[in-house]
Amino acid sequence: MDSADVCRALGISKRTLQTWRNNGRIPFSMLGGKVYFKESDIDELLQAGLKPKNK
Protein backbone atom coordinates (compact mmCIF):
# COMPACT_ATOMS: atom_id res chain seq x y z
CA MET A 1 0.00 0.00 0.00
CA ASP A 2 1.24 3.50 -0.66
CA SER A 3 0.76 6.52 1.60
CA ALA A 4 -2.48 7.64 -0.05
CA ASP A 5 -3.99 4.16 0.42
CA VAL A 6 -3.06 4.13 4.10
CA CYS A 7 -4.42 7.63 4.70
CA ARG A 8 -7.74 6.61 3.18
CA ALA A 9 -7.88 3.33 5.11
CA LEU A 10 -7.09 4.93 8.47
CA GLY A 11 -8.89 8.22 7.85
CA ILE A 12 -5.81 10.31 8.59
CA SER A 13 -3.92 13.10 6.85
CA LYS A 14 -0.61 12.68 5.06
CA ARG A 15 1.03 14.80 7.76
CA THR A 16 -0.28 12.53 10.53
CA LEU A 17 1.04 9.50 8.65
CA GLN A 18 4.43 11.22 8.31
CA THR A 19 4.48 11.92 12.06
CA TRP A 20 3.64 8.30 12.86
CA ARG A 21 6.44 7.13 10.54
CA ASN A 22 8.91 9.54 12.15
CA ASN A 23 7.94 8.32 15.63
CA GLY A 24 8.13 4.63 14.67
CA ARG A 25 4.41 4.16 15.31
CA ILE A 26 3.73 2.48 11.97
CA PRO A 27 6.08 0.17 10.05
CA PHE A 28 7.04 1.06 6.49
CA SER A 29 9.54 0.34 3.73
CA MET A 30 11.10 2.55 1.11
CA LEU A 31 11.69 1.41 -2.44
CA GLY A 32 13.11 3.77 -5.01
CA GLY A 33 12.34 6.78 -2.83
CA LYS A 34 8.67 5.84 -2.41
CA VAL A 35 7.15 4.78 0.90
CA TYR A 36 5.14 1.55 1.14
CA PHE A 37 3.24 -0.16 3.92
CA LYS A 38 2.32 -3.83 4.33
CA GLU A 39 -1.39 -4.32 3.94
CA SER A 40 -1.27 -6.87 6.76
CA ASP A 41 0.13 -4.24 9.18
CA ILE A 42 -2.65 -1.82 8.30
CA ASP A 43 -5.28 -4.57 8.55
CA GLU A 44 -4.03 -5.40 12.05
CA LEU A 45 -4.48 -1.78 13.11
CA LEU A 46 -7.98 -1.67 11.69
CA GLN A 47 -9.02 -5.03 13.17
CA ALA A 48 -7.74 -4.04 16.59
CA GLY A 49 -9.80 -0.88 16.36
CA LEU A 50 -6.70 1.00 17.33
CA LYS A 51 -4.65 3.62 15.62
CA PRO A 52 -1.08 4.40 16.64
CA LYS A 53 -1.03 7.07 19.30
CA ASN A 54 0.22 10.54 18.47
CA LYS A 55 2.58 12.09 20.97
In a domain, 55, yes or no: no
Total domains in the fold of the chain: 1
Q: Is residue 39 part of a domain?
A: yes
pLDDT confidence of residue 55: 44
Does any domain span residue 29?
Answer: yes
The domain in which residue 22 lies consists of 3-48
pLDDT tens for 1-55 read: 999 999 999 989 999 999 999 998 899 999 999 999 999 999 988 887 755 554 4
CB-based contacts of 37, cutoff 8 Å, min separation 6: 1, 2, 3, 5, 6, 26, 27, 28, 29
Residue 54 domain-assigned (yes or no):
no
Q: What is the pLDDT of residue 46?
A: 84
How much is the pLDDT for 36?
97
pLDDT of residue 53: 56
DSSP the chain: -BHHHHHHHHT--HHHHHHHHHTTSS--EEETTEEE--HHHHHHHHHHT--PPP-
CA distances from 42 to 21, 51 (A): 13, 9
Residue 16 inside a domain? The answer is yes
